[in-house]
Chain A
């Protein structure tokens, strides 16, 4: 078979990592350019990831680092699922970096850009790695940089929630580490494929305990219901560009890691029933908490919890269509929530308040920002012709395809949450457009560098909403990769 040449996926991690460390040096040379570094880095990642798509669709790319063969080397497994997420990450990273050009005005910008790059690099590492310990390492990179970024503004609320996040996050990390340790102790390997090959089914207690440890550890970052208490604080007090990334990327990466472990390593079909409920409860709690919020960022943060719940639900259906729905929902959530946070960022910046009531009349003052915000809300509620509709549609379809009463009941609950979601998001729309503001000052549109990423997000939301078929093939293969343990094993172990 003819070998196809492609860019080494290692560069996806290596280039941003290297750039991140160049930043402090560059600071002394050409300070003005540092804010362009993340832009460049993630543009590169985005292009590389996109060029990899056709190859990955044929077979997974295995990259071995450290010379030895699998299962003993550190390796990257670039499958459709990983690549899908890495595209999302680099896209979000690229656009948010553009946004940050103007948005980040205060604090030590150098730190911001380094941490931002590290955060997303960690995320890319998590989704691309084929090794359970590397997963932990990248995960820690992600987490630690996000702790720091949450407290970036240095105000009281930021620091407080950063500490809270740190405490809970480190408990999570340690639980994860304990889990990994237990597994390693039993099987003597850290390679996911190798582990998966050895663990046929998760039935013994010695397997369950590490599984629970790992799930709990990852579940904290993935913001599943009882473990997500850090999220509202952290997301609401971080700078909006960071909130966008945290909401749109970080928790989804955590969820992906969790699902990868559950599906690939443990093949824990029986655990999915539990996750189903957990997902719906997360959804319910998230949306209900968001319902009566007056602080917009908190509201969006709670809404993220809800969305994660929906994704968990979709994954837990554990059918190909369910997983496709989950992945699609991930994409749509990334786009929607990033857009919402970015728009909110400048809205808060202009009004100087996070209270929804202070956004009155912004539809007049910041027409484009408000329009993008509106598109984001319509999409997140799931109104056609936006992308949120397609994803919710897929999830409903997958759940109903099971043809069980249980799923109908759960879907009824999901409908209830969607109604609640509609209620609070439409309230904001009304505030933006249909309430008169007190001060009559003229237009104060967001900066052009902020509008461009918002525009791209909005455009993607609309285009993917109308033509979801364009990415469905990719998503299907991602879903089947995650679901189909054996083909993963074959592709990694040869």
Chain B
């Protein structure tokens, strides 16, 4: 961990601060959320690494999608994701967001979340342990370090396609497009 290397801070304060100030949206999509409380409290203490749950998406830059994504939840996920400020990072937590997991043939869950919003990294497993979150975070640090956590840029670039995918499910969305 290079948190106290002042030289790095002076060279790229943005990157460094993004790394060590990951505030997560406290958003409960599915059963995966059960792993969050232990990870932020005494046992694993995520605050050591500057990770705390943020009260709302405007103040957060990390989006953990914890568990299966139903059609109804997806709408909220898209909305929340769009309201987060750039740069922002998303991590799919558990196998359900990756491929539907045990809901692989359910009629109202999303199988591939990254069709709708960009995902910077995945934590596989059902369910992953809190340690996995920390592993994911260190990977995310690396990605940020190497300018590879660019999901939000991808989203902006391919917004038309994402929007089309979103609209395919819902017909039309309540809100106007984020980008022109």
A and B touch in the complex (CB under 8 A): no
Residues of B within 8 A of A (CB): none
